[in-house]
Amino acid sequence: MSKPKLSIMDHRKAEDVQYLVQPRGPGRSWVFRMVTPPALLGLPNPWDGKQLGKEIKRGLSTGHLPDARKLRDILLGGLRRLEAQQGDKGAFSLPSAFEWREAIAADADANTGDTHGGLELVLHDKLEAAAARGFPVDQLRRFSRIANGKGYPLERALAEYIKARRPGNPFQFKPISQSTADNLKTAAKHLRAFLLDVDNTVSERNSPNECSHEVQRKARRENGFCADCGQGGVQHVRQTPLKTR
């Protein structure tokens, strides 16, 4: 029995033209076209930073199919990395960091004689893999400090303290007034600015000497302080040379 002949569309599929179209007809330039994955809607695309809509269209400027395939695969690779990063955001979120923190502490208590790192080593491998996929390294460092018990979000610690000292608290602590709570928030803001805590994770590694001059200036500006001298509030008087005749 003879095999049925391939139709034109079957032949194109056999040649691997997935996500490739020629809107102007055969022999004209190929265009990359695909429905945007739901997880990527509204995100900046990997090639020019524009927001991704419901459909992705990108001209490949070539009518040569093998070249179009290579360019398509490059675009797909960028989109797959972007998808992986979105998954990483949940994996390396603040709640996840505290889950790791509790698990690592429990593992250390249960295996006091383990010198190989246990869960810390597992987390280290996960962080390295995420960095290799392009996940922002500064966010991974912040996650690592919290998960390994070397840092704690100052604003979260302050919120927990204020909650524990609220009127009618179950710990029988003396309640603090709203004005005291407001003063604590202001003091925490000043402390973060002094420590240049740009990611809201105070740790023993935060030191003004560890940050570049531009990072210091940015942190001071964002926290309401003079970018040059670090002072702020009514006590701050800008030092300018006196004019002499």
Domain-embedded: residue 3: no
- Range in 52-56, 134-138, 172-176, 207-211 the model is least confident about: 207-211
- Count of alpha carbons within 13 angstroms of residue 138, beta-carbon side: 6
**Phi, then psi, of 234 in degrees rounded to 5:** -70, -20
In three-state secondary structure terms, 21 is strand
178 & 213 share domain: yes
Residue 22 to residue 194: CA distance in whole angstroms: 59
132 & 167 share domain: no
Residue 21 to residue 17: CA distance in whole angstroms: 7
Domain-embedded: residue 112: yes
How remote is the C-alpha of 175 from its chain's centroid?
37
Residue 190 burial class via C-beta count within 10 angstroms: exposed 0-12, middle 13-18, buried 19 and up:
middle
The mean pLDDT of 14-31, rounded to a whole number, is 88
Domain stops at, among 63, 83, 103: 83
- The Cα-based distances of 107 to 29, 75, 99 in angstroms read 58, 42, 12
158 & 127 share domain: no
Domain-embedded: residue 198: yes
Asked if 227 and 217 touch (Cβ cutoff 8 Å), the reply is: yes
Domain-embedded: residue 117: yes
Q: Is 4 left (phi over 0), alpha (psi -120 to 50) or beta?
A: beta
Domain-embedded: residue 244: no
Closest of 229, 196, 201 to residue 212, by C-alpha: 196
Q: Give the domain extent around 125.
A: 92-149
Asked if 155 and 188 touch (Cβ cutoff 8 Å), the reply is: yes
Please report the pLDDT score of residue 201 as a whole number. 52
- Range in 17-31, 79-93, 143-157 the model is least confident about: 79-93
Asked if 216 and 196 touch (Cβ cutoff 8 Å), the reply is: yes
Interval 71-98: pLDDT, tens: 999 999 888 888 877 777 778 888 888 8
Domain-embedded: residue 242: no
28 & 70 share domain: yes
Domain stops at, among 120, 149, 178: 149
Mean pLDDT of the chain: 76
33 & 48 share domain: yes
Please report the pLDDT score of residue 63 as a whole number. 92
Structure tokens of 216?
């210091």
75 & 12 share domain: yes
Q: How many domains does the chain have?
A: 3
Residue 212 burial class via C-beta count within 10 angstroms: exposed 0-12, middle 13-18, buried 19 and up:
exposed
75 & 100 share domain: no
The mean pLDDT of 8-18, rounded to a whole number, is 58
Please report the pLDDT score of residue 36 as a whole number. 87
DSSP bridge partners of 141: none
Structure tokens of 35?
């429905």
Through-space distance between the first and last CA atoms of the chain, rounded to whole angstroms: 108
Domain stops at, among 61, 83, 105: 83
45 & 115 share domain: no
